[in-house]
Amino acid sequence: MFTLAIANQKGGVAKTTSAANLADAAAEQGARVLLVDLDPQGNATSLTDATPRLYEGNAFGKPQQLTVSDALHAAQERQGAGTQAGTVFHVAVPAGEHWSARLQVAPANQDLAARNLDQFGGADQRLALGLSGDGVPYDLAVIDCGPALGGLFVAAMHAADAVLLVTEPADNALEGLPRTVEVLEAVRAQRGSGAPRLLGVLPTNVARQTRPTQLLGFMRDTYGPQLLEPVPRRAVVRQAEGAHAPVRAFGGPGRDIADVYSRLATLVLEAAGVRTRAEVS
């Protein structure tokens, strides 16, 4: 399984929208995809209309949602405790009716914030552990990181094979990229194997205006060939979010955006060594 983390220290840059639509596009191309919601706000869970399973055998006397927080806790409860692989797969549920049938979601809620505070030795390895094991049932895992560079983000960097940076061509959004890259490079040095690598930088919400064009030029000078095809700004994106649906579900009005995510999914699957449905046929 190939694991891709979607990241930016800044929020509000269409990171979750990109993670979900990329995951859906890859699933539509025939891959078995897991979208991991690693944000306590649970935006990816809400966007994909994923319903967490309930666990009733707990000490609180009422059903509790099974989420990524539980998966990380089960992977390793505390320093020195036993470890368990594949725990994230156990909390995965299908995405909502509008999404690809091959897409599943590891959901999140506010409980995940507690995992961000765990500082014991090995805490930064729990997500990688939870996404490992024998008989992994997915070809691709897409991690939607929260807009912070704390413990959960570091855990995502340790779990990922590659990272996709998502940003709007705006000054405040671009400010988050250098610090995000710094953390990425620090984890690369710790891991020693060269992973995770930077897959690319995805500009989102790109309007046909002078200032964004100037900033895109700056991004092109900075990131060169790693700057990916921009996602255009369209009102249909907000409509899709409100309907808890992928942009492709809106047909013509969302086709140009859906096509960008489809081409990006092809790029990701090629990096993952996953054959698409078109290649198989």
Residue located via tokens 């269409």: 14
Nearest to 17 by CA among 40, 35, 1, 33: 35
The answer as to whether 92 is a domain residue is: yes
- Alpha-carbon span 23 to 86, nearest angstrom: 20
pLDDT 10s digits, 43-92: 999 999 999 999 876 555 678 899 999 999 999 998 888 999 999 999 99
Phi/psi of residue 179, nearest 5 degrees = -65, -40
Question: pTM here?
Answer: 0.93
Element (H, E) at 239: helix 235-242
- Residue 281 belongs to some domain of the structure: no
Residues 111-123, mean pLDDT to the nearest whole number: 90
Q: How open is the CA angle 196-197-201, to the nearest 5 degrees?
A: 120
Q: Is residue 168 part of a domain?
A: yes
The least confident of 38-42, 84-88, 156-160, 170-174 is: 170-174
Mean pLDDT to the nearest integer, 112-125: 91
pLDDT tens digits along 190-229: 888 778 999 999 999 888 765 667 777 888 888 888 999 9
Question: What's the domain count of the chain?
Answer: 1
Instruction: Write out the residue range of the structural domain in which residue 160 sits.
Output: 2-276
Residue 134: exposed, middle, or buried by beta-carbon count in 10 A (0-12, 13-18, 19+)?
exposed
Q: Which amino acid is at 205?
A: N
Share of the chain above pLDDT 70, in %: 94
**Residue 217 lies inside a defined structural domain of this protein:** yes
Q: The domain spanning residue 177 has which CATH number? A: 3.40.50.300
Taking the C-alpha atoms of residue 106 and residue 90, their distance in angstroms, rounded to an integer, is: 9
189 Cβ neighbours under 8 A, 6+ residues apart: none
Residue 246 lies in a domain: yes
